[in-house]
Structure 1
């Protein structure tokens, strides 16, 4: 998704991303936290990055072609 000026960086919502939805999070400057308008997830930048790394493990081998020798 394109940057829309919602915050410093656009992060994907980790809860929506687990369900294969690509939803950008909004940034609240007053509370210094990111929030999702679809699933009501709220978290600071560290928490969002940590949860997104866990979700990315799902796609880690997406481009690898497996052969019979691999099993």
Structure 2
């Protein structure tokens, strides 16, 4: 398992947290958003999933991933 923390711009509320965490879950990873820090800590199996797929899922929700 790999752990990564990403900066996510555009999150402002609880709905944003749900959107980002849901997008991560939908691709097969787990994530926990820190809204005040505007980050998300992600845990995933790198043999089944790439970081680019996870970033794309978050960006598809309308957020900028740094």
Structure showing greater relative contact order (alpha-carbon pairs closer than 8 Å, 6 or more residues apart): 2
Same fold (TM over 0.5): no
Q: What band does the TM-score fall into relative to the shorter chain?
A: 0.3 to 0.5
Give 1 or 2: higher strand fraction.
Answer: 2
Please report the TM-score for the alignment, with normalisation by the length of structure 2.
0.33
